């Protein structure tokens, strides 16, 4: 069974959208989305520097646009399940038919703006812990006042909190942790610091008319498959201030019988986790259109299986 997944914030790099805009019709689609949300996605995806696309209000729509665009380039595919990490859940909602493309981009634009405003209240950030025992690490983070905002599995936890708390973590790592890596994000996402964004997103969600998913939709709130579109949107709203449990999503992929995982652009992070946590499952990351032929071959093999 094929699982199609979408990455979260921090996966973006300068110019990553450039080759995708050369595909037939891609530039026109991106231009229409840009007009709809009031943000020049082509500029930010091709010309802007790392600092510009680190801005939450820019990064999030850019990631969703790239995910939808690269998935569409695969052609008419039928994954057995879809999921997204953090903001990638909105991309996955578009994959599943819960939201149409424009609704997904409109929602993520409001999400990015609301989270950027919340992040501006206090200087916060996120850092990935590589290695170590999850229980030991979580207890250590809580002692420092940090939140385990992403429990990603494969020995990776992402801590979130104030810059002072993250500095203390860098000096005092949990036992067994090899390295603490600052992430390219501009706030402590999926923590209480994002509470102000929840209300703003809830207001935006009132304008949506979600459909029930056409394929299995796995929520990173708890790794459960959700079959009702309205509940998926409700989870998208609350999830900005709650931890991401990607470890539980991968457990669900295994229970569902996943045999292959394809990660849409800018892919790499989630297949890296899958390689360590789901041995035997084939993986492929869409980084540029050069990866499309290999992805189509993998999809044909595992969709048939």
Active site residues: 86, 190
Buried (b) or exposed (e) across 29-62, using 16+ Cβ within 10 A? bbeebbeebebbbbebbbebeeeebbbbbbbbbb
Helices (H), 96-194: 101-119, 134-143, 163-171
Q: How far apart are CA 288 and CA 108, in angstroms?
A: 23
Q: Pull the structure tokens for residue 211.
A: 């459909």
Helix or strand holding residue 2 (H, E): strand 2-6
Between the CA of residue 216 and those of 74, 105, 206, 283, what are the distances in Å?
A: 19, 21, 24, 19
DSSP state of 210: P
The residues facing 226 across adjacent strands are 217
């Amino acid at each position: 069974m094929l699982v199609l997944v979408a990455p979260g914030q921090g996966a973006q790099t300068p110019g990553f959208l450039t080759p995708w805009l050369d595909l037939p019709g891609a530039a026109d689609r991106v231009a229409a989305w840009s007009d709809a949300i009031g943000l020049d996605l082509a500029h930010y995806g091709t010309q802007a520097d790392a600092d510009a696309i680190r801005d939450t209000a820019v990064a999030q729509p850019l990631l969703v646009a790239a995910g939808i665009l690269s998935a569409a380039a695969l052609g008419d595919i039928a994954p057995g399940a879809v999921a997204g990490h953090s903001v990638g859940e909105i991309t996955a909602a578009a994959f599943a038919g819960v939201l149409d493309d424009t609704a997904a981009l409109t929602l993520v634009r409001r999400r990015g703006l609301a989270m950027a405003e919340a992040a501006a209240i206090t200087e916060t950030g996120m850092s990935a812990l590589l290695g170590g025992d999850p229980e030991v690490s979580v207890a250590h983070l809580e002692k420092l006042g940090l939140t385990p905002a992403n429990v990603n599995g494969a020995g990776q936890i992402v801590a979130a909190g104030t810059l002072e708390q993250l500095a203390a973590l860098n000096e005092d790592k949990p036992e067994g942790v090899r390295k603490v890596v600052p992430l390219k994000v501009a706030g402590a996402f999926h923590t209480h610091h994002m509470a102000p964004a929840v209300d703003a997103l809830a207001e935006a969600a009132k304008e949506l008319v979600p459909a029930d998913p056409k394929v299995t939709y796995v929520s990173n709130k708890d790794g459960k498959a959700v079959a009702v579109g309205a509940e998926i949107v409700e989870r998208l709203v609350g999830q900005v201030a709650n931890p991401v449990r990607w470890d539980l999503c991968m457990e669900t992929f295994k229970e569902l019988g996943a045999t292959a995982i394809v990660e849409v652009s800018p892919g790499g992070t989630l297949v890296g986790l899958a390689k360590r946590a789901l041995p035997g499952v084939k993986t492929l990351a869409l980084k540029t259109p050069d990866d499309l032929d290999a992805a189509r071959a993998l999809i044909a093999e595992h969709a048939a299986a």
